[in-house]
Amino acid sequence: MRIEFLLAAALFSVASSAQARRTVSLSGPGWLCDGEEVCVPHTWNSLDGADGSPEGAPPPERGMSISADSYLRKAARYSRRLPDPMPGMRQFVRFEAVSRKADVYVNGSFAGRHVGAFTAFAFEVTDLLRPADNVIEVVADNRWDADVAPLSADYTLFGGIYRGVEWIETPQVCIDPVTDGAYGVELDVNTNGTVKAKIRILGGPDEEREITIENPELWSPENPRLYEETFRIASGDSVSVRFGFRTVEFREDGFYLNGVKRKLRGVNRHQDAGLSGWAASREDEDRDFALIAEVGADAVRLAHYPQSRHVYDICDEKGILVWNEVPAINWLTDSPAFRSNLVQQVREMVAQKRNHPCVFAWSLFNEIYNDVPPDRAQEGWMEGMLAEVRDVIKALDPKRPVVAASDRQPKKMLNDIPDQLAFNAYPGWYGDSSMSDDISRWFKASGRAMLAISEYGAGGNPFEHLDPLPAGRLDPGGPVHPEETQVKLLAADYMTICGEPRLWGSFIWAMFDFAADARREGGKNGINDKGLVTRDRATKKDVFYLFKANWSKESVLHVCSQRMSETTNATATVVGFSSCGDVTLLVNGSVAGVKTPDAVKVVRWEAVPLAEGENVIELRAGGRSSVRKLRRVAAKNEYEST
């Protein structure tokens, strides 16, 4: 007995003095989900989460995909073996996210519960482990719950262990990997070169450190300079943190980064990474941000919730400013459980993302419907809850502004809560207004001197075409979302946005098509098709090149409607984008016109005559060429078609 004790004590002292932290990925194969072998990241909704509500189901309501029961909602049991623990060390399991509730067990004993689909969490499992043959089980549950945000939204809530999992072993005294799912080191970075670090320690008192970097280079989209520091404590445990020096502030006339005014050129991104749904790999995320960098955006709104750690790492590296959002959308529940879960999700979001220089703002909500039911709105409880959340954010991180995305002006009180307000506008798509009307109304109603546009866009199926476009508005819930409408509306919107100096930024809805299972429209069920790029990332729509021509440093010449192969018309509309100067139009080798691009790099020819049969329509500018082929065919006699 005494010998065993001495041996254990010796092992412990070896471990605590000499053993560094060990981190092992538990992602990949080796997991079972309800008895089937799966790879983590995993979701059980990758197919049914984006196939639309079944035919015959009641007409889908816009924005109801979170609560739709058109895809599998369940509690699923995952399990896998754990690495053998090193004696004398402490063991933790860290999940990047589980949707949306997770109950974790080790060898049948309860280790902890996490509620919230978008933030990381970790549990200590040291006391639940045997020397070998340990099994972890996770019950993941994506069923709707009135006490867990978000309650409703226009995207599919994929279920499962859809981000990575890690096994962490530390000495007995260690940098805390548990509290708020963060890494235990909180930085306060100042552009004079001082970096103050609060190190949270388990098994010992917390520590504060200060380091100085001489003449630090500032971080910006043009120069995303990062620094890294390893914080080591006496037990040998250490954590490395990357950071950057930069300031963000709003002055009376706009947004300033490092004291320089900038009007943000943003896109919105959901974490739905195409055919794997939310179970995105690092490669999926790298590919997405390569496309965001290619289009030339300097900002991304991570709609409508915090995304994976790798996403923020990429944005730090590429110099993309991040709008990071609390998952409060459409509805809130007036219950203490909802309020406390929302605050917990917010604390975790700030704690986990605060060290990333790319994050420029915390967003409090998206499109809260406090006007329904009206009696509840009068009580003021929503204002109270959102003001409390704002104050929680400000107490945790006084340096970043709080913003919000609103869609309705009567909600004056809610719109007054964030430091900066942005609005979502779909003129010509969901309504008959114009972007300039919308902007004027928003400035008038909000009484603010500056605003941003958090969403603008239109549906676009790159395999549906219409020329000429009808004079009126198309039905956004209808079966046809021609690519040409998306080009027309976004070009007009962007022209207005460029001419409005009171806007501090704008964010296209959206960079990629994404799963919204309740939708049945645009020729493809289960998809919100307002992306610049299709959900499988295989097709860059014409609007991708509109923004690339405006934002990228690369020269762009692009003729639209290249996927439209046939027409029965005698003429065609030719639209193109050029950042290489004046554009010459050639039809079947003959010059048909020369035009100077407008302020948003668009050239347009109406009613260009076509020959019978194949036509080659070519744009030339700055030594480049872009071609579309269009076959003119005879109109089908209606009796011929069958």
Instruction: Write down the least CB distance from residue 590 to ligand ADA, Å.
Output: 42
And the tokens for 215?
Answer: 């003449």
Q: Is 201 exposed, middle or buried (0-12, 13-18, 19+ CB in 10 A)?
A: middle
Nearest residue (CB) to ligand ADA, 368 versus 503? 368
Segment 405-444, which members bind ligand ADA (CB under 6 A)? 407, 424
Whichever of 424 and 567 has its CB closer to ligand ADA, that residue is 424
Give the phi and the psi of residue 634 in degrees, each rounded to 5.
Answer: -70, 145
The least distance separating ligand ADA from the CB of residue 407, rounded to whole angstroms, comes to 6
> Which amino acid is residue 289, in one-letter code?
F
Query: Which residues from 588-627 bind ligand ADA, rule CB under 6 A?
Result: none
Question: Smallest distance, Å, CB 406 to ligand ADA?
Answer: 10
Q: Does position 366 bind ligand ADA by CB under 6 A?
A: yes
Q: Which is nearer to ligand ADA, 311 or 556 (CB)?
A: 311
Residue 336 parent element (H or E): helix 336-353
- Which residue, 508 or 549, is less far from ligand ADA as judged by CB? 508
486 binds ligand ADA (CB under 6 A): no
3-state secondary structure of 121: strand
Q: Which of residues 41 and 150 has its CB atom nearest to ligand ADA in the complex? A: 150
Q: Is the peptide bond before 287 cis (omega within 30 degrees of 0)?
A: no
Q: How far is the CB of 372 from ligand ADA (least distance, A)?
A: 16
Does position 485 interact with ligand ADA (CB under 6 A)? The reply is no
Taking the least distance from each CB to ligand ADA, the nearer of 114 and 530 is 530
In the region spanning residues 283 to 342, those forming contacts with ligand ADA, defined by CB under 6 A, are none
User: Residue 480 and residue 529: Cα distance in Å, rounded?
Assistant: 11
- Rounded Cα distance between 205 and 151, Å, is 40
Q: How many CB atoms lie within 10 A of CB 473?
A: 14
Q: What are phi and psi of 293, to 5 degrees?
A: -70, -40
According to the binding rule CB under 6 A, does residue 455 interact with ligand ADA?
yes
Q: Is 367 in the site for ligand ADA (CB under 6 A)?
A: yes
> What part of residues 42-71 is at the interface with ligand ADA (CB under 6 A)?
62
Rounded CA gap, 274 and 536, in Å?
5
Looking only at residues 218 through 277 of this chain, which bind ligand ADA when binding is defined by CB under 6 A?
Answer: none
Instruction: Give whichever of 358 and 425 is closer to ligand ADA, judged by the CB atom.
Output: 425
3-state secondary structure 245-313: ECCEEEECCEEEECCEECCEEEEEECCCCHHHCCCCCHHHHHHHHHHHHHHCCCEEEECCCCCCHHHHH
How far is residue 388 from each of residues 177, 245, 340, 346, 401, measured CA to CA in Å?
Answer: 27, 29, 11, 11, 15
Residue 348 sits in the site that holds ligand ADA (CB under 6 A): no
Q: At its nearest, how many Å lie between ligand ADA and the CB of residue 329?
A: 7
Percentages helix, strand, coil for the chain, rounded to the nearest 5?
20, 35, 45
| Among the listed residues 510, 517, 523, 511, the one whose alpha carbon sits nearest the alpha carbon of residue 481 | 523
- Confirm if 72 and 81 have CB atoms less than 8 A apart: no
The residue (of 45 and 156) whose beta carbon lies closer to ligand ADA is 156
Q: How far is the CB of 342 from ligand ADA (least distance, A)?
A: 18
Q: How many residues bind ligand ADA (CB under 6 A)?
A: 11
Give the DSSP letter of residue 157: -
Rounded to whole angstroms, the maximal C-alpha distance in the chain is 98
The least CB distance from residue 548 to ligand ADA, in Å, is 22
Smallest separation (angstroms) from ligand ADA to the CB of 7: 59
Nearer to ligand ADA, 366 or 567 (CB): 366
53 vs 366 by CB, closer to ligand ADA: 366
Give min distance, CB of 366 to ligand ADA, in A: 5
Span between the terminal Cα atoms of the chain, in Å: 91
Shortest Å distance, C-beta 165 to ligand ADA: 28
Q: Pick between residue 284 and residue 367 the one whose CB is nearest to ligand ADA.
A: 367
Residues between 493 and 512 with contacts to ligand ADA, criterion CB under 6 A: 509
Q: How far is the CB of 517 from ligand ADA (least distance, A)?
A: 12
Residue whose CB is nearest to ligand ADA in the complex, by number: 154
CB of 332 to ligand ADA, least distance (A): 15
CA torsion sign for 77, 80, 83, 88 is positive
Under the binding rule (CB under 6 A), the answer on residue 152 touching ligand ADA is no
Q: Which is nearer to ligand ADA, 424 or 461 (CB)?
A: 424
Place of tokens 């970790």: 122
Least distance in angstroms from the C-beta of 528 to ligand ADA = 5
DSSP 358-410: TEEEEEEEEEE-TTSSHHHHHHTHHHHHHHHHHHHHHHH-TTS-EEEEE--TT
Query: Please, is 437 exposed, middle or buried when counting C-beta atoms within 10 Å of its C-beta (0-12, 13-18, 19+)?
Result: middle
What minimum distance in Å lies between the beta carbon of 274 and ligand ADA?
17
Q: What is the 3-state secondary structure (H, E, C) of 24-78?
A: EECCEEEEEECCEEEEECCCCCCCHHHCCCCCCCCCCCCCCCCCCCCCCCCEEEE
Sole binder of ligand ADA in the list 170, 333, 528, 578 (CB under 6 A): 528
Within residues 89-128, the interface with ligand ADA by CB under 6 A covers none
**154 interacts with ligand ADA by CB under 6 A:** yes
With respect to ligand ADA, which residue has the nearer C-beta, 181 or 277? 277
Interior angle at CA 295, CA 557 and CA 553, nearest 5 = 65
Q: Which of 465, 530, 548, 601 binds ligand ADA (CB under 6 A)?
A: 530
Closer residue to ligand ADA (CB): 506 or 528: 528
Length of the chain: 642
Query: Residue numbers of the site for ligand ADA (CB under 6 A)?
Result: 62, 153-154, 366-367, 407, 424, 455, 509, 528, 530
